[in-house]
Structure 1
Amino acid sequence: MNNNDNLIFDQREDGLNAFFSKVYALMGVGVAISGLVSFIMIRFFQANLDAISQKGSLVFLALWIIPLVLVVPLQTSAMKNSSAAMPLFVIYSAFMGFLISFTLLMYTSTDITMAFITAVAMFFGLAVYGRTTKRDLSGMQKALVAGVIGLIVIGFLNFFIQSTALMLICSVVGVVIFSGLIAYDNQKITQVYNQMGDSNGWAISMALSLYLDFLNLFLFLLRIFGFAGNSRD
C-alpha cells in the first residue's frame, strides 16, 4: 500500500469515525430526552399517570400503538434526509419517555438501576463486536425482524391473556433478539456510510434504530430483574 492509499484509507476511517460519533450523539439525545420526560412524569405528574392507568388496559394498548405508527414516517423522513426528521425524532423520544414512565412506576429503583447498568454494558459490548467483527451479520436480519414482529404479536395478545409466564419467556427472547439487532445495526452503520456517505438523514435513521434497540433491551431486562426480585421476596 503506497502513501496515497494510506492517505485515502486514513481519510475514510476518519470519516467513518465521525459518522459513528454523529449516530451515537443523536442516539444519546434520544435516550436523554426519554429519560428526562420519564423523570418529570414520575416526579411531578404521578397522580396523572395513576389516573390514566385506572382507565384500563385498552388505553395502554392504544398508547403503545402510537409509536409503532409514528416510527414509519420518522424512518421515511430520515432516509429521505428531510428537515422534519430531527423534530420527529425528538417528539418520538419524548413520547416514548412518557410511555416508559408507566412501566418504571411498577419497579423498584434497584431493579431499574440494575437493568439500566446491564443494558448499557451489554449494548457497548455488542456494539464493539458489531463494528469490529469480520463476520457478515446480514444473514441474521430476516430472523431478527421476524422475531420482533413475533414479540409485538405476542405482546398484543398478552394484553388480554395477562400471562406472567408468557411475559417472562418473551422478555428472555427479547433480550436475545435485541442483542442480535445491536450487533447487526452497528455493522450496518459502516455499510450505510460506505454507500451513502456522511448523510444527516441516515445518521438519524441509524440513531433511531440503535435507540429502539437499547430501549427494548432495557425494558426486557427490567422485566427479568423485576421477576427475579419478586421471586426473592
Structure 2
Amino acid sequence: MSDFDRNAQVWGAGRAQQTSAVEMDQGLRSFMLGVYNNMSIGLAITGLMAIGISMLAIAGYSPSGKVTALTPLGQALYLSPLKWVVMLAPLAFIFFFSFKAESMSSSTARAMFFAFAAVMGISLSSIFVVFTGESIAKVFFITAASFAGLSLFGYTTKKSLSGIGSFLIMGLIGLVIASVVNIFLASSALSFAISVIGVLVFAGLTAWDTQRLKEMYLYSDMDSESAAKLSVNGALSLYLNFVNMFQMLLSLFGSKQE
C-alpha cells in the first residue's frame, strides 16, 4: 500500500510538472505572438504612411518612372530645412521611450509605439524619390524572409547568444557614429561599409533580441501588465532591427531611379 501511495505521489508530481510546462509553453507562445503582432502592426503603419506621404509629395514621373517634380509638401519634406526634423524625429521618439519606458503603462507604450511607427513612415517616404518601387518591394521581401529565419533561429536555438550581445551593441554604437560622420564626409566607400556591417549587426540583433525576449519571459516573475509592456518594448526592438536591416539592404541592392 505504501509503495502504491508513493508511486501515485510521484506520478501526480510528474503530471503537475507536465501541466506547468504546458502552461508555460502556451504562455510563451502567446507572449511572442503578441510581440510579433505589435511589430507587424507597426510595420504596416510605417509602410502605409510612407506610401501615402510619397503619393502626396511626388507630383510627376518620367516615362521610365523617375520622379520629375515634387509637390509643395514634397519640397518641404525633402528639400527644405524641415527634412532634418523629419530625419531626426524618430530618434527623438527612441530617446523618449528610453527615459519613459518604466513609467508608462502598456497601453500608453503601445500608442507611443504606433505613433513612432507613423513618424518613421514619414521619414522613410523619401526612399520612393530615390529608389524604384520594384526594388523597394524586392528588398522588403528579402528583409522579411531574412528576419523570419533569424528570429526563428533565435527562438529555437539551444545555444546562448548572450555572449555576442555586447559585441553587437558596440557594433551598433560604431554604426551610429560612422553614419553621423558620413553625413559630413559623404563618402560612398564609407557608406558601403556601413551598409555591409549594418546588415550583419542587425541580423545578429534580430536573433539575440528574440532569444532575450524569450528568456526574459521564462525566467522573470511578471504580472500581466509587465508582460504586456515587455511585449511592446520587444516589438519596438524587433521593429527597429527590421527597419534598419531593410534600409541597409536597400542601400546595397536597391535600384536607384535613373
Could you state the TM-score of these two structures normalised by the residue count of structure 2?
0.82
Q: Which amino acid aligns with 1:72?
A: F
Q: Aligned match of 1:31 in 43, 49, 54?
A: 43
2:238 paired with 1:210: yes
Residues 49/196 of structure 1: CA separation in 2 closer, same or farther (3 Å cut): farther
Residues 202/80 of structure 1: CA separation in 2 closer, same or farther (3 Å cut): farther
Query: Separation in 1 of the partners of 2:127 and 2:205?
Result: 23
Q: CA contact under 8 A between 2:192 and 2:252: conserved in structure 1?
A: yes
Query: Separation in 2 of the partners of 1:152 and 1:109?
Result: 27
Residues 104/98 of structure 1: CA separation in 2 closer, same or farther (3 Å cut): same
Residues 60/169 of structure 1: CA separation in 2 closer, same or farther (3 Å cut): farther
Q: CA deviation at 1:13?
A: 0.1
Paired residues for 1:1-233 under 5 Å: 2-46=14-58, 47=71, 48-55=73-80, 59-82=82-105, 83-194=107-218, 195-197=220-222, 198=224, 199-226=227-254, 229=255
Helix, strand or coil at the partner of 2:126: helix
RMSD: 1.9
Number of aligned pairs? 227
Structure 1 residues 81-133: Cα deviation after superposition (integer angstroms, max 9, x where no partner): 52421221111100000000012321011210121011001000001100011
Q: Which amino acid aligns with 1:69?
A: A
Query: Separation in 1 of the partners of 2:76 and 2:88?
Result: 20
Which ranges of structure 2 fall in alignment gaps of 5 or more residues? 1-12, 59-70
Q: CA contact under 8 A between 1:81 and 1:200: conserved in structure 2?
A: no
Q: Which has the higher contact order (CA 8 A, sep 6+)?
A: 1
Q: Which amino acid aligns with 2:128?
A: L
Helix, strand or coil at the partner of 2:214: helix
Larger Rg: 2
Query: Separation in 2 of the partners of 1:53 and 1:45?
Result: 9
Query: Separation in 2 of the partners of 1:19 and 1:62?
Result: 35
Helix, strand or coil at the partner of 1:40: helix
Residues 69/54 of structure 1: CA separation in 2 closer, same or farther (3 Å cut): closer
Matching residue of 2:3: none
Q: CA deviation at 1:79?
A: 4.0
Q: CA contact under 8 A between 1:138 and 1:184: conserved in structure 2?
A: yes
Query: Separation in 2 of the partners of 1:200 and 1:81?
Result: 11
State the percentage of identical aligned residues. Answer: 31
Which ranges of structure 1 fall in alignment gaps of 5 or more residues? none
Q: CA contact under 8 A between 1:61 and 1:159: conserved in structure 2?
A: no
Structure number with the higher helix fraction is 1
Helix, strand or coil at the partner of 2:17: helix
Q: Which amino acid aligns with 1:55?
A: S
